[in-house]
Amino acid sequence: MLKSVLIANRGEIARRVIRTARRLGVRTVAVYSDADAKALHVREADEAVHIGASPAKESYLRGEKIIAAAKQTGAEAIHPGYGFLSENADFAEAVINAGLIWIGPKPDSIRAMGLKDAAKKLMNDAGVPTTPGYLGEDQSEERLQKEADAIGYPVLIKAVAGGGGKGMRKVEKKGDFKAALQSAKREAASSFGDDRVLLEMYVQRPRHIEVQVFGDTHGNVVHLFERDCSLQRRHQKVIEEAPAPGMDEATRKAVTDAAVLAAKAVNYVGAGTIEFIADASEGLRGDRIWFMEMNTRLQVEHPVTEEITGQDLVEWQLRVASGEKLPLKQEELKVNGWAMEARLYAENPDAGFLPSIGKLEWMYYPWLYDDTPAVRMDSAVEQGDTITPNYDPMIAKLVVHASTRSAAVEKLRNACASMEIASVKTNAGFLVRCLTTEEFVNGGIDTQFLANHGDSLTQRPAPSLGAKDAAAARFVSASQAKAGALRTAETMTQRASPWARLEGFRLNSSPSRDLRLLHEGKTVVASAERESDLKTASIANGAIAVVFDRGEAYEFTLDTGERDANEASAGDGAILSPMPGKIVSVAAKAGAKLKKGDPILVLEAMKMEHTLTAPFDGKLAELNAKPGAQVSEGVLLAKLEADA
């Protein structure tokens, strides 16, 4: 077994590797940027090395700094985690050339699966079923149009070097093909420096099925069954589960055999995932599942495979990298029960899933304090930490295991519903709503699930009467506690006056505790007398009462009748910068008439582009944005005046 390993990553995956390495007696070395100097993964590692400034391109993407850190600390091996440099063949090769052990596949295997067209051709040659389409060298508009017509519409255009949905376009009819092709090529060139595309038949009811594979240096390859990752938004996974709903043994054998064949075709070593697209219009069938791509690394959703197999995949990685054979043979691997994972993000589903940055002033999850937690939580943040704009805004992965799928759904739904996080926004309530829909409960989803539901899942409901009353009770309780602690002659005099008290005076009746509160700029009236069993918290030195209800965090303040001159919201047409970032482009001009949803500008932050749009029909009365400008959070970028 290896004696030491450097983890070339951060966050929850770095902590995940540290946890297994410590159990196996392997010394760990963390690397960190300026932003992560006090991060949990840095504190938990045996040793840590600073590698640069906060932006990833100056730290976690600097391969030479990571290799130097490994040399400096005497680490034998480098574990890349996922993301960053995990699928960079040149980095893997540099690690090996430096005399270190690369915990991952051979660089040639990474390269073989790195380009979609080459990988698809390789799989075709190996006998792995692939989606019907065109991946030829002739990239002229005429040839691509001809091939699209032959495949039939709708057709899918995909960037050869693509990923994450960039450079991908669905074309419904022949007349739309040329414009969609040009758009896909521009985006592909901008994102990957390669504008080549391939064409595929568009699957009408697609399911995303992937198979976990593992190879060793002795020529052995096994699969650890399948996962279903069909619940996605913008080609990014939201909820994953294993095994896949509706998967019979014949279909499972067909898809897992194809996955093992694919791995063997590239002499695969280590952990990898073969991703397939399935046409579920007639249920899952072995002859309607096609190879899509291979991820040559450990996946974010690997815990669900661990939960149903009882295996530690990071331990497998370390053992294979140490030259050992795979811990188990294929016939020794079994499926036990059902597992699900939800990705909890600091983001605002109401605003197109814009990341939400800031300090985690309150963070509580009840199962953490159970003797046998019902939820596995892989996280790298704690109360008091800050979600920064530098990296992916994931807070945690919530993972559950149960004997049946219905029990797993209930466990995960309860876990998401009981999360208490403030003051950053999260997608916990959105996850609860997804896990409550009839389609998901019955296992009948496909990759169009979220698109088909429109705003019904992303828009959170208004606070309930119980939530308002819970906030009122919180303020009254805090006021009484403060009065008790500061009982002076002056405060005693004030308490004699009904105007200085929160309770309301009523003729011929006892005083009521009706309060006027503010929620998202609107006044609500609530009673502190009615009982509510909802959990609450106070933040901002007690100025804000937060009520937690089914994953949502509703914030209230006392309505004093005063308004901050700078107070603004989408309700009054103010377009504020949701986070620090750079303005990439401006799509509208001051004075322009806009419709609700029309783009105003594009802001680049957290490695993503975010389009800020008109919240209603109106005139763009103010525009304070120029391309290339850096802006802080909360800056007024534009203001819309509603039509009369």
Annotated catalytic, 297? yes
Q: Please tell me the distance from the alpha carbon of residue 456 to that of residue 403, in angstroms, as a whole number.
A: 31
| Continuous H helices in 193-326 | 249-265, 302-309, 313-321
Kindly report, residue by residue over 371-415, the tens digit of the pLDDT: 777 899 999 899 999 998 889 899 999 999 999 999 999 999 999
Task: Give residue 606's pLDDT.
Answer: 61
Choosing from 16, 297, 319, 513, the catalytic residue is: 297
Architecture of domain 570-642 in this structure: Beta Barrel (2.40)
In the structure, what pLDDT confidence band is assigned to residue 108 with cuts at 50, 70 and 90? very high
Task: Give residue 481's pLDDT.
Answer: 73
pTM, two decimals, is 0.83
Per-residue pLDDT at 512 exceeds 60: no
Q: β-strands 27-33, 47-52: how paired?
A: parallel
In the structure, what pLDDT confidence band is assigned to residue 484 with cuts at 50, 70 and 90? low
Q: Contacts for 413-419 with beta carbons within 8 Å, 24 or more apart?
A: 415/342, 415/365, 415/367, 415/374, 415/375, 416/342, 416/344, 416/551, 417/550, 417/551, 418/365, 418/366, 418/367, 419/344, 419/365, 419/548, 419/551
In this predicted model, which residue has the larger pLDDT, 190 or 197? 197
| Continuous H helices in 355-448 | 405-417, 428-436, 438-441
Using CB atoms within 10 Å of the CB of residue 58, give its burial: 0 to 12 exposed, 13 to 18 middle, 19+ buried. middle
Q: What percent of the chain stands above pLDDT 90? A: 70
Task: Give residue 224's pLDDT.
Answer: 98
Mean of the pLDDT values across residues 584-609? 84
Tokens representing residue 301 in the block: 């959703």
Mean of the pLDDT values across residues 442-456? 92
Kindly report, residue by residue over 545-594, the tens digit of the pLDDT: 999 999 999 999 998 775 544 444 445 788 888 777 889 889 999 999 99
Q: Which of 112, 109, 111, 123 is nearest to 269 (CA)?
A: 109
Per-residue pLDDT at 502 exceeds 60: no
Task: Give residue 643's pLDDT.
Answer: 79
For domain 4-103, give its CATH number from 3.40.50.2000, 3.90.226.10, 3.40.50.20, 3.30.1050.10: 3.40.50.20
Kindly report, residue by residue over 344-360, the tens digit of the pLDDT: 999 999 888 888 989 99
Q: What percent of the chain stands above pLDDT 70? A: 93
Task: Give residue 511's pLDDT.
Answer: 46
Task: Give residue 337's pLDDT.
Answer: 98
Q: β-strands 581-586, 599-605: how paired?
A: antiparallel
Q: Which residues pair with 610 in a beta bridge?
A: 603
Q: Which of 122, 118, 110 is nearest to 137 (CA)?
A: 118
Per-residue pLDDT at 495 exceeds 80: no
Q: Which of 428, 465, 458 is nearest to 551 (CA)?
A: 428
Q: Please tell me the distance from the alpha carbon of residue 316 to that of residue 214, in angstroms, as a whole number.
A: 8
Q: Which of 421, 403, 399 is nearest to 412 (CA)?
A: 399
Helix axes 302-309, 313-321, angle to 10 degrees: 100
Task: Give residue 138's pLDDT.
Answer: 94
CATH superfamily of 132-201: ATP-grasp fold, A domain (3.30.1490.20)
Mean of the pLDDT values across residues 357-370? 87
Per-residue pLDDT at 468 exceeds 80: yes
Domains 206-336 and 344-435 share a fold: yes
Domain boundaries, the chain: 4-103, 132-201, 206-336, 344-435, 465-558, 570-642
Other Cβ atoms closer than 10 A to 217: 16
Task: Give residue 3's pLDDT.
Answer: 97
Q: Please tell me the distance from the alpha carbon of residue 81 to that of residue 86, in angstroms, as a whole number.
A: 6
118 residue type, one letter: A
Mean of the pLDDT values across residues 153-164? 85
CATH match of 206-336 with 3.40.50.1110: no
Per-residue pLDDT at 492 exceeds 50: no
Q: How high does pLDDT run on average in the chain? A: 90
Per-residue pLDDT at 486 exceeds 60: no
φ, ψ of residue 55 in degrees (nearest 5): -55, 135
Distance in angstroms between the alpha carbons of the first and the last residue of the chain: 73
User: ∠ CA(358), CA(362), CA(368), 5° rounding?
Assistant: 125
Kindly report, residue by residue over 290-304, the tens digit of the pLDDT: 999 999 999 999 999
Kindly report, residue by residue over 47-59, the tens digit of the pLDDT: 999 999 999 999 9
Q: Which of 267, 337, 336 is nearest to 296 (CA)?
A: 267
The answer to whether 223 touches 215, Cβ cutoff 8 Å, is no
With the CA atoms of 156, 157, 160 and 162 taken in that order, what torsion angle do they form, in degrees rounded to the nearest 10? -80
DSSP string, 461-509: PPPPHHHHHHHHHHHHHHHHHHHHHT--HHHHHHHTSGGGSSSBP-TTS
Q: Please tell me the distance from the alpha carbon of residue 406 to that of residue 576, in angstroms, as a whole number.
A: 42
Per-residue pLDDT at 317 exceeds 80: yes
Task: Give residue 50's pLDDT.
Answer: 98
In the structure, what pLDDT confidence band is assigned to residue 487 with cuts at 50, 70 and 90? low
Using CB atoms within 10 Å of the CB of residue 561, give its burial: 0 to 12 exposed, 13 to 18 middle, 19+ buried. exposed
Domain covering 344-435 in this structure, CATH number: 3.30.470.20
